[in-house]
A and B are shown apart, each in its own frame.
Chain A
Amino acid sequence: MSDKKLTLKKRLHIIKHHFRGKKMAPAFNAFHTFLFTPDETTHSGSHVRAADDLKRTMNTVIMALVPVLLFSMFNAGYQHYSAVNGFPENFSVIEHFLTWDNFWIGIIKVLPLVAVSYIVGLTVEFIFAVIKGHEVEEGYLVTGMLVPLIVPIDTPLWMLAVAVVFGVVIGKEVFGGTGMNILNPALTIRAFLFFAYPTWMSGDKVWVYEAVERAGGPDAISGETILGYLAQNKAAEMSYSVSDMFWGFIPGSVGETPTFLILLGGLFLIFSKIASWRIMLSAVIGSLVMGLIFNGVVDAGWIGETSKFYGLMSFDFWKHLIVGGLAFGIVYMATDPVTGAQTNRGKWFYGFFIGFISVLIRVFNPAYPEGVFLAILLMNVFAPTIDHYVVRGNVNRRMKRLKNATILPEDSEGKEKELQVETA
């Protein structure tokens, strides 16, 4: 075969053999398997090869995130210009939202966040792969896309870089890399940013592009999030309608606002069987239950309008789902197969408490107007315990069933003992 007839695939396989056993082999393989499946064949036994390997799984999640990312780029500009020029009257999506000006702000503000997240995160992954001599793991592909979507738009890039290094090293690599981590790395990064640089992560000046620079000047605006308004009992000053909240034309972290697109992404993930519908559904139920409890407390008159919790407690229970990061967290973060519960019954508990605790933190902790990331991290920690008890419960139930089984064949006297020995 002459050189000309070599396809890209074959060339890469040849290069691969040059790298074999060398230090940089994992780095090369990472790029190689991104394009093609490896040419290795299994040497012993039979192995099932499925088409949806880890890389394909990750890519499916990224596909579900792309609409959210595009929307967030437009929204970045929309929020900026609305803050400067005032909200447009007779709002039309084509005229006021999907404009080049809006998109341009998104390009200069959102894309750098994505780039920093991926470059820093993958560099750390490559360094660890080369030091430890294993293949580069795909885990960061999704994390790298999630991170820019859950931070405020004005987050300085160096802060993001520091947080990504922390999140990947402490959140994932120290536990043994992808698949071994206890906590969701993207949320670890978010939590690190939140506790390290609180002035950049909360308040009313960080959610809209350049709001910090405008603060105090004649252009000063309130770029407060809906939850922020409610936490300060200022629901009356809020000018957002329910449809704004649902479609996502509201300030917030870069990609958390478009509930509709997140819903579509969630359905896509459910039908491609990547994410668990049990977790999503039970988390929604959990947040609705907690919201209903709070609404009930207000209706019963136990909490007056003067209470500092009134704003959030009286917020209609179902609206909790369309503001803040709850929907985004439920669809893309809670369903992380590594850090979530593994058993089907466990997923119901796991999801339910994520929704339940998220709304609880929202209402009761004024310092954290958004508690979704804390709720998911907390349940990440409890997921193995939940699974443990589900499995134990299952074993005990079967043991009981076995003991109660009285109908045995006539010549089974010996069998019964055998069974007991086996199950003991």
Chain B
Amino acid sequence: MALLTKKDAKLISDPLADNNPITIQVLGICSALAITAELKASIVMSVAVIFVLGVGNVVISLMRNIIPSKIRIIVQLIVVATLVIVVDQVLKAFAYELSKTLSVFIGLIITNCIIMGRFEAFALGNGPWRSFLDGIGNALGYGVILIIVGFFRELLGSGTLLGYKVLGDPIAKTGLYATGYENNGFMIIPPAALIVVGIIIWVQRSRNKALIEDH
């Protein structure tokens, strides 16, 4: 593919697998636990983070030579805060119900360690195009985990996917519920996300032994 050089493609593919921000670097856990009870919220959150991190990385990268290093954290915070407010307003305008569900967590994207981490570690030292790819890659890596967790938690916890009753109606006892199946209430509460993330980490490390840390 001529669109991306091999080195650039790595910027996107690495965070998706062997350098995943959630499962390998263990960043951004807070929002992964809080908003993944529903798949829809996970998807919206992922899109929001992809936007904030992609655009933010470019902005920081463009300004990297004029930011005085003593106040760079403040500058970074202002950039993130601006982008997050844009996301928040767009959600309030076009998806009001959802913005209420996500409520404080959109605002808390500002404190998501992944974003500040990428600004510090990458955007301050690389050009805009590579920073953009890095931002998109890391946000995608974050989003993939969020969507996997959201998928299992919504399917097992509520028996729905994106609000559709894929397993049948639990009250009218149709579909799978006719056999006596019941929703797993444990999946709705945040500790379940921790366990699902843990299982993903387990699966990932047993497939790639190089990821296992020495003690």
Query: Hey, which bits of chain A sit against chain B, CB under 8 A?
Result: 156, 158-159, 162, 170, 174, 192, 195-200
Contact (Cβ within 8 A) B189 A197: no
Partner of B180, one of A156, A170, A174, A196: A156
B202 contacts partner chain A, Cβ-Cβ < 8 Å: yes
Contact (Cβ within 8 A) A197 B180: no
Contact (Cβ within 8 A) A192 B186: yes
- How far is it, in angstroms, between the C-alpha of A227 and the C-alpha of B60 when the chains are bound? 61
Chain A residues near B181: list those with CB within 8 A: 158
Nearest 8 interchain pairs by C-beta: A196-B186, A195-B186, A196-B184, A196-B185, A198-B185, A197-B182, A156-B180, A195-B185
Query: Hey, which bits of chain B sit against chain A, CB under 8 A?
Result: 180-182, 184-187, 189, 195, 198, 202
Number of A-B contacts (CB under 8 A): 23
- How far is it, in angstroms, between the C-alpha of A294 and the C-alpha of B198 when the chains are bound? 41
**Most A C-beta atoms less than 10 A away, residue of B180, B185, B195, B202:** B185
- How far is it, in angstroms, between the C-alpha of A158 and the C-alpha of B182 when the chains are bound? 10
Chain B residues near A162: list those with CB within 8 A: 184
- How far is it, in angstroms, between the C-alpha of A159 and the C-alpha of B179 when the chains are bound? 13
Nearest Cβ on chain B to A208's Cβ, whole angstroms: 19
- How far is it, in angstroms, between the C-alpha of A174 and the C-alpha of B194 when the chains are bound? 14
Contact (Cβ within 8 A) A197 B185: yes
Q: A170-B195, A174-B202 are in contact. Are A158 and B180 (CB under 8 A)?
A: yes
- How far is it, in angstroms, between the C-alpha of A197 and the C-alpha of B181 when the chains are bound? 11
**Most A C-beta atoms less than 10 A away, residue of B180, B181, B182:** B182
- How far is it, in angstroms, between the C-alpha of A22 and the C-alpha of B182 when the chains are bound? 41
Residue of A nearest to B187 (CB): A196
Residue of B nearest to A131 (CB): B206
Contact (Cβ within 8 A) A197 B184: yes
Chain A residues near B189: list those with CB within 8 A: 195
Partner of B182, one of A159, A174, A192, A195: A159
- How far is it, in angstroms, between the C-alpha of A200 and the C-alpha of B202 when the chains are bound? 31
Chain B residues near A174: list those with CB within 8 A: 198, 202
- How far is it, in angstroms, between the C-alpha of A195 and the C-alpha of B192 when the chains are bound? 10
Chain B residues near A195: list those with CB within 8 A: 185-186, 189
Nearest Cβ on chain A to B213's Cβ, whole angstroms: 16
User: Could you name 6 residue pairs across A and B whose Cβ atoms are closer than 8 Å?
Assistant: A158-B180, A174-B198, A195-B186, A195-B189, A196-B187, A198-B185
Nearest Cβ on chain B to A206's Cβ, whole angstroms: 13
- How far is it, in angstroms, between the C-alpha of A158 and the C-alpha of B195 when the chains are bound? 21
- How far is it, in angstroms, between the C-alpha of A281 and the C-alpha of B53 when the chains are bound? 58
Chain B residues near A158: list those with CB within 8 A: 180-181
Chain B residues near A192: list those with CB within 8 A: 186
Chain A residues near B202: list those with CB within 8 A: 174
**Most B C-beta atoms less than 10 A away, residue of A162, A174, A196:** A196
Residue of B nearest to A191 (CB): B186
- How far is it, in angstroms, between the C-alpha of A44 and the C-alpha of B1 when the chains are bound? 62
Chain A residues near B182: list those with CB within 8 A: 159, 197, 199-200
Nearest Cβ on chain B to A159's Cβ, whole angstroms: 7
- How far is it, in angstroms, between the C-alpha of A15 and the C-alpha of B184 when the chains are bound? 44
- How far is it, in angstroms, between the C-alpha of A89 and the C-alpha of B96 when the chains are bound? 64
Residue of B nearest to A193 (CB): B186
Nearest Cβ on chain B to A149's Cβ, whole angstroms: 22
